[in-house]
Every structure is written in structure tokens, then in C-alpha cells.
């Protein structure tokens, strides 16, 4: 697994049984940074490049063209007469496409000099999920009044690597990689996988290249004064699964058609407009990233992939949490996520995959190593929190939609999940759900802080399993409360009362065993139920779930917003006073936007409105400093005054699902939007707006069978809510 040492490496899980427990998970083979990567994604196809649109031919990077856990293309370089073009501008805000503006450096072409900036290269790149193609269109424009000539060279490399091999986790069996072949003006790379699946990337050119070497296509470009020429390169991915060997893909779709067809995906139903240019840009970026991260599985069911590039997969915890964050915007994907995870729910005891009856998966992979059984991710179940969070999502979706349909339909899976909590999660009968990794290739830590050194004691030592995390007990509490409400709604009063009694007993014991007199809940209980008594962001999740006693909330907020925890942009994962604190430690002092969104919602739940607003305002300030206002998976925990801007974490996923969900969730939190579809009511509880935001419009917010358009306006320190349009059956109740 990942050896951290002095090299910053990356996300998201760490494996048990390593010599060095000081791990930052999962990408120890990647030397460079992907923080500035140009990312486009459509469906299950995605592409990462350097800021100039290219992919280095040298090894040790994470760039390339990916599909189904395989990097089909790991090298793609463009040169003009032997030299790399200069980048003028780049933009990938649309998600499924990117536009770059390049220009030539000083060139020597056939003995003639060509001054820099004589040629504009307008490069438009579109990813098509339907065609499984990456289509590049380059418009070469002569900016001078002279005739000019130069060469254009494309060089490609395809290794067909499994995502786990790229990350340096495991090296599995290899199939047969065939030499590149030119046929009818197209360059083809083919791989016969060890899993008996054929994979191919076929590269078509229009017009045909003047030169066709082993893996290089060249053009001799001659441009009249102010003249132009267009070159199209279409990279077409195909596999022999699920159909037999796929036919050659077409040369490429027309760019005009591709924009309309590819970009015309349905957007979330709820729309937001604001008078603040900054907040509007942050929200637009977040919602665009969420659309970008939608993937499909099993015939079209949608879910949020956890993050690009390392975790484009169905993830129990991440997919659930993002669906929860976005319930007010798109309840449909929550239903898909619930169904998908129910389908893959654990059925048996399988130690290799850490599968147990009723358990919700951690991660599902579909690549070569998964097919060969070399990794347990088929799916892998090493997570302690996905099962209660799945029940929470079932409950919250039912409340917003006003339907028990899913509850009734998935009753066996719900019963199995509740049984898992009692029989397998609560291993020693003390009421706490715990974990202890049981296999060599499993995760040492199995909550959201799943790096090997993520759960620590105040003295710097690692917590000893079995481990009961503070947030997981809150999730279990919340799951039982949610399920009790649904059982009561369908007339099963006794079952509802039993669950409520269990939840209340857990709440009492939790406060007794987890509370630290310094004013916060311990990070965890470890072996022999000893406290891991260190201040961490996890304590804020106890507010989000409602397990925290009301009298504790103010003190917890005070601790989390102290200088030790709040770095000016967000709450750190671990206090800076801890011996293990590291502002670049994956879970040891960095700032995670999704974590902060839950903490803010917890503050709001306990009436700490201004504290919630402080977190949102801090993250808005942070977003200004990231490319295209995109909040990454995490960023450094350095104090705001240290550098004046947030410090990037070089291999953080960007975009990342629950980071993209952070701002939409924060906005619904500070506006106080609480939907109750069963009662056909929307409660607007103590609405607030960040500083310099004076107006927000929310259009098409659905609760039950109704929808509403709302206008929020600021007058001094007060925010008023007004109903602009109401459709269907719904009552809006404003509580100030």
C-alpha cells in the first residue's frame, strides 16, 4: 500500500498489514500532481490531461483516457515542428468538453524560422459516452500576412493498465499487448486481457496524416496568409464486453451535433439563482460537477461516482452521502442509488470481500483485476458506515418524496441492514458498531477517514481495533430514528417503538462513553472501549446525526471553530494541537469540504445558525482560489494567514462527488429548507444568507407532489422568504 515517507501521495483507502502505518492512501506510484489537470467526463468515460491538453509519454502520472477501471491511453503528445505549443487559455467548465487556445513557440521548420505566436491552435475536445469516443478538433489559424509552413506531430501510447496498477497497489496478471497497427489511415492499439476481454483504442484522423509511423501521425501544414486548416482526431474505445468484439467506431461525430447531443443531458430539477456573482459561480461549478460525476450501472441506473480519477466507481459511503446532500435538487438519483446498493447488498459470509449478510458495499470495481479476482472489490464490503447511511438515505428520501414505496419494496433489504447493525456491527453486544479489518488486502480503517493512520490517540499512537467511531454511532442512531418513523407510518407501532428505544439507549450510552471533559466527543472508542480522546472534525457529525445531547452542542461548536481546528476556510480533520497533526496529512489536519458541509448542517440542527454560516462563508472564500471555483476533495490545513491562499493537495480528486455536493447542501442548510412530503409541507427555518449575498431564488423545489419557487432577500441582518409560485399540493411555513 502507500508508503508516505517524505513524498506526498494520495487518496482514498489504505490496506491493512503494512509495515508503515503512517499512510496516505492509495497512489504511491504517482510522482506528479493532478491538481491542475484538465478533466472532462461523460458517463463512464473520462480523460485527464496536463493543462496544455496533452498526456506525458513518460511514466509515473495519472493522466490519460479511462473507461471501466482501465486506462486505455497513457500518452498523447502534440508538437509543432518538434516543440510543444504554448498554452494561452484553457476551459473545461462544461464538464463533457474542453477548449484550449495554444500558439507556437519560435520554430525552425525546414530551415525557415517561424516567429512565436504566428499560429493560433484552437483545440476543442469532446467526450461522448454514447460513442465511447474522445473527439479532438484542432483549428490551425495563420495569424500573419505571410504564407507559413510547419509540421504537426501527434504521438500516442496505450498500455491498458488497471486503475489499481496505476495507483501502485497491486500488480496482477498481464494479458497480451499488441504492437500499434496502421490500417486504412487509422492507428489501432489492442490488448487481449488476462480476463479474456479484448480492449482496443482506435484513432481516426481527418484528413489522413501525411506521415504514419509506429505510434506517430504527422502533418505538413501549409497556411496561406490569414489561412486556416482543420484537423480532427477521434479516439474510439471499445471492448468485447458486453457485446462481442465491437465494430470500428465511426470517424467521429460532428462537433456541432456533439455539443447538442452530449451536453443535452437532463439537469437537476431544482435551479438556483443569486445576485452574488461569486456564489453563482461556485454553485454553477458544483452542480456542473455533479452532472459530470453521474455514472450508470446495470442497464442505466444512475449514481454519483466518488471522484476523478481514482474513484470513478460505485462507492457506498460517498455515493450515499452525495445523494443525501442533493436530495433537494434531484431526488431521482437518490432512488437509483438506494436500489443499486440494495442489489449488491451482502448475502453471505465471505472473508475475502469482508462481506456479511445485510452489509452495504464499500466499493465496486469492473476492471481486469476485479474480473480475475485479484482484488476483493467485486464488490468489497470493508466499510462500517455505509449500511446505516443507506438506511438514513432511505428515510430521508421517503420524507422528501412523501412516499413509502421504496420502504415497502425493499423491506427485506432494510430488515437485513438493521440486522447487520445488531448482529455483525455490534460484535460484542455493547451497542456500538465497530470494525476490525480481517484480511490482508482490506482497509485498516473503515470509516470515512480510511487511511492507515487516520484514527489516532492524543499521544500520537494509532487507535487499536476494534474501533467504534464517533460519527458511526451517530449514523446508527439516525438510521434507527428514520426507520422508526417509516415503520410507524405503515402501521407497525411496536417495531417503531423498539427502534426508538434502541436509539435513545444508544444516545445515552454514547454521551457517557464518548464525552471528553475538554468539551468534545472523542474520535473513537478503541480496544477495551478506551477513548481515542483527541479533538477531530468527526465530533461535528454527532451534531449532524442528532445523537449529541443538546447541552453539548455549543461547546462542540466552540472547539471546532477554535484556531486549533478552524483554519479560516474550514474545519480541519484533526486539531493542530495533536501530536499527529499534519496540515498535509490525508486525514490528519487537512480540510475536507464535505466534512464541513455536514458540520454546518449539524450546527444548524442545534440552532447554531451563525456558526453554520461561518463555515459556508469560509468555503466560499476558499473556492475563489481554486480553478473554475471547484472545491477539491481536500486541501491543506495551513492557517489562512500562513500563505493567504489554500494549499492544494496534489493528488486530490477533482472533481469529487461529496465536495461538489458541499455547496448545494450548505445553501439548503443556511436557507433552512426542510421538506416533509408526507405532510405536503416545506419548512423554511430561520433563513440566513452569507455576507454580500442579498438575494437568492430557488426554482422548482419539489416536496412530495408539489413544487415551489422561493425568493430570499436580505434586509440588514434579516432574511425574508417569499413564495413566488406554488404548484401542486404544498404548504410553505416560514419559521423565523
DSSP per-residue codes, 10-27: --S--BTT-S------S-
Same domain for 211 and 170? yes
432-462 pLDDT tens trace: 999 998 877 788 999 999 999 999 999 999 9
18 belongs to a structural domain: no
Domain range holding 362? 271-671
429 or 98, higher pLDDT: 98
285: helix, coil or strand? helix
The CA radius of gyration of the chain, in Å to the nearest whole number, is: 26
158 belongs to a structural domain: yes
13 belongs to a structural domain: no
Q: Which of 263, 290, 317 is the last residue of a domain?
A: 263
User: What's the rounded Cα separation, in Å, for the pair 230 and 121?
Assistant: 10
532-556 pLDDT tens trace: 999 999 999 999 999 999 999 999 9
Same domain for 253 and 374? no
CATH number at residue 354: 1.50.10.10
Same domain for 604 and 554? yes
Q: How confident is the model at residue 1 (pLDDT cuts 50, 70, 90)?
A: very low
Q: Which of 639, 671, 703 is the last residue of a domain?
A: 671
User: What's the rounded Cα separation, in Å, for the pair 236 and 203?
Assistant: 6
Same domain for 277 and 234? no
C-alpha cell, 187: 492507428
How many domains, the chain?
3
5 belongs to a structural domain: no
Q: Which residue has the cell 418513523?
A: 485
392 belongs to a structural domain: yes
Same domain for 308 and 213? no
Q: Could you tell me which of 332, 299, 303 has the C-alpha nearest to residue 320?
A: 303
Dihedral pair phi/psi, residue 312, rounded to 5°: -85, 80
Same domain for 493 and 462? yes
Residue 428: which residues within 8 A CB-CB, separation 6 or more? 434, 466
Neighbours of 499 (CB within 10 A): 22
Same domain for 597 and 699? no
Q: Which of 640, 671, 702 is the last residue of a domain?
A: 671
CATH number at residue 231: 2.70.98.40
Same domain for 645 and 699? no
Neighbours of 83 (CB within 10 A): 15
Same domain for 719 and 608? no
Q: How confident is the model at residue 243 (pLDDT cuts 50, 70, 90)?
A: very low
Same domain for 309 and 446? yes
Please compute the mean of the pLDDT values over residues 285-299 and round it to a whole number: 93
- β-partners of residue 183 are 186
pLDDT for residue 445 = 95
21 or 610, higher pLDDT: 610
Helix 662-671 and helix 593-605: axis angle, to 10°?
Answer: 10
Same domain for 312 and 336? yes
182 CB-contact burial (10 Å; exposed 0-12 / middle 13-18 / buried 19+): middle
708 belongs to a structural domain: yes
Q: How confident is the model at residue 652 (pLDDT cuts 50, 70, 90)?
A: confident
24 belongs to a structural domain: no
Q: H or E segment at 318?
A: helix 316-325
Whether the predicted pLDDT of 208 surpasses 50 = yes
pLDDT for residue 109 = 78
Dihedral pair phi/psi, residue 245, rounded to 5°: -40, 120
Residue 58: which residues within 8 A CB-CB, separation 6 or more? none
Q: Could you tell me which of 490, 488, 473, 392 has the C-alpha nearest to residue 431?
A: 473
309 or 723, higher pLDDT: 723
Same domain for 468 and 353? yes
| Among 228-237, 333-342, 643-652, the least confident range | 643-652
Mean pLDDT of the chain: 91
Q: How confident is the model at residue 9 (pLDDT cuts 50, 70, 90)?
A: very low
677 belongs to a structural domain: no
pLDDT for residue 242 = 56
Amino acid at each position: 500500500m502507500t508508503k508516505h515517507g517524505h513524498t506526498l501521495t494520495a487518496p482514498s483507502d489504505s490496506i491493512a498489514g503494512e509495515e508503515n502505518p503512517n499512510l496516505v492512501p492509495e497512489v504511491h506510484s504517482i510522482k506528479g500532481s493532478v491538481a491542475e489537470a484538465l478533466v472532462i467526463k461523460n458517463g463512464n468515460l473520462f480523460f485527464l490531461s496536463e493543462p496544455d491538453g496533452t498526456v506525458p509519454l513518460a511514466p509515473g502520472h495519472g493522466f490519460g483516457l479511462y473507461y471501466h477501471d482501465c486506462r486505455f491511453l497513457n500518452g498523447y503528445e502534440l508538437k509543432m515542428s518538434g516543440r510543444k505549443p504554448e498554452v494561452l487559455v484553457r476551459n473545461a467548465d462544461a464538464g463533457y468538453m474542453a477548449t484550449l487556445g495554444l500558439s507556437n513557440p519560435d520554430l525552425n521548420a525546414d530551415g525557415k524560422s517561424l516567429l512565436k505566436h504566428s499560429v493560433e491552435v484552437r483545440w476543442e475536445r469532446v467526450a461522448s459516452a454514447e460513442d465511447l469516443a474522445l473527439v479532438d478538433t484542432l483549428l490551425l489559424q495563420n495569424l500573419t500576412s505571410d504564407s507559413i509552413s510547419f509540421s504537426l506531430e501527434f504521438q500516442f501510447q496505450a498500455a491498458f493498465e488497471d486503475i489499481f496498477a496505476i495507483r501502485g497497489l497491486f500488480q496482477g496478471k498481464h494479458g497480451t499487448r499488441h504492437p500499434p497497427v496502421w490500417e486504412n489511415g487509422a492507428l489501432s492499439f489492442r490488448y487481449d486481457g488476462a480476463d479474456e476481454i479484448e480492449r482496443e483504442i482506435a484513432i481516426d484522423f481527418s484528413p489522413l496524416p501525411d506521415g504514419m509511423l509506429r505510434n506517430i501521425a504527422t502533418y505538413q501544414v501549409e497556411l496561406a496568409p490569414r489561412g486556416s486548416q482543420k484537423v480532427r482526431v477521434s479516439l474510439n474505445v471499445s471492448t468485447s464486453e458486453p457485446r462481442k468484439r465491437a465494430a470500428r467506431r465511426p470517424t467521429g461525430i460532428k462537433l456541432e451535433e456533439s455539443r447538442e447531443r452530449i451536453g443535452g443531458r437532463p439537469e437537476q430539477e431544482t435551479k438556483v439563482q443569486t445576485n452574488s456573482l461569486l456564489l453563482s459561480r461556485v454553485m454553477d461549478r458544483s452542480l456542473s460537477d455533479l452532472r459530470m460525476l453521474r455514472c450508470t450501472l446495470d442497464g442505466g441506473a444512475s449514481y454519483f461516482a466518488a471522484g476523478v480519477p481514482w474513484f470513478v466507481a460505485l462507492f457506498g459511503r460517498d455515493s450515499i452521502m452525495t445523494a443525501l446532500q442533493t436530495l433537494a435538487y434531484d431526488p431521482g438519483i437518490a432512488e437509483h442509488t438506494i436500489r443499486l446498493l440494495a442489489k449488491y447488498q451482502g448475502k453471505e459470509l465471505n472473508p475475502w470481500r469482508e462481506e456479511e449478510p445485510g452489509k452495504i458495499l464499500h466499493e465496486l470495481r469492473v476492471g481486469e483485476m476485479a474480473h480475475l479476482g485479484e482484488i476483493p472489490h467485486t464488490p468489497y464490503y470493508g466499510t462500517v458506515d455505509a449500511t446505516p447511511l443507506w438506511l438514513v438515505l432511505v428515510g430521508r428520501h421517503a420524507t422528501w418524496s412523501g412516499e413509502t414505496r421504496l420502504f415497502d419494496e425493499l423491506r427485506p433489504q432494510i430488515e437485513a441492514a438493521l440486522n447487520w447493525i445488531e448482529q455483525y456491527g455490534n460484535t460484542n453486544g455493547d451497542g456500538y458498531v465497530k470494525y476490525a479489518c480481517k484480511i490482508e488486502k482490506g482497509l485498516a480503517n473503515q470509516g470515512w477517514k480510511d487511511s492507515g493512520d487516520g484514527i489516532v490517540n492524543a499521544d500520537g499512537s494509532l487507535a487499536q481495533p476494534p474501533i467504534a467511531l464517533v460519527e458511526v454511532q451517530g449514523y446508527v442512531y439516525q438510521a434507527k430514528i428514520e426507520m422508526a418513523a417509516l415503520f410507524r407510518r405503515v402501521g407497525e407501532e411496536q417495531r417503531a417503538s423498539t427502534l426508538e428505544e434502541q436509539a435513545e439507549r444508544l444516545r445515552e450510552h454514547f454521551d457517557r462513553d464518548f464525552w471528553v471533559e475538554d468539551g468534545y466527543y472523542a474520535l473513537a472508542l478503541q480496544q477495551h472501549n478506551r477513548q481515542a480522546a483527541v479533538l477531530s472534525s468527526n465530533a461535528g457529525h454527532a451534531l449532524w446525526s442528532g445523537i449529541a445531547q443538546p447541552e453539548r452542542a455549543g461547546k462542540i461548536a466552540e472547539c471546532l471553530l477554535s484556531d486549533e481546528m478552524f483554519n479560516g476556510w474550514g474545519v480541519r480533520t484533526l486539531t493542530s494541537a495533536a501530536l499527529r497533526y499534519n496540515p498535509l496529512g490525508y486525514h490528519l489536519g487537512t480540510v475536507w469540504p464535505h466534512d464541513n458541509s455536514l458540520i454546518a448542517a449539524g450546527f444548524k440542527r442545534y440552532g447554531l445558525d451563525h456558526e453554520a454560516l461561518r463555515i459556508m462563508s469560509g468555503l466560499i472564500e476558499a473556492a475563489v482560489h481554486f480553478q473554475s471555483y471547484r472545491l477539491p476533495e481536500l486541501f491543506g490545513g495551513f492557517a489562512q494567514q500562513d500563505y493567504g491562499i489554500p494549499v492544494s493537495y496534489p493528488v486530490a480528486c477533482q472533481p469529487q462527488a461529496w465536495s461538489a455536493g458541499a455547496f448545494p447542501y450548505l445553501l439548503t442548510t443556511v436557507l433552512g429548507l426542510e421538506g416533509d412530503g408526507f405532510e405536503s409541507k416545506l419548512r423554511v427555518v430561520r433563513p440566513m444568507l452569507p455576507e454580500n449575498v442579498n438575494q437568492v431564488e430557488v426554482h422548482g423545489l419539489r416536496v412530495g407532489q408539489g413544487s415551489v419557487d422561493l425568493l430570499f432577500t436580505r434586509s440588514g441582518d434579516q432574511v425574508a422568504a417569499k413564495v413566488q409560485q406554488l404548484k401542486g399540493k404544498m404548504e410553505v411555513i416560514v419559521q423565523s
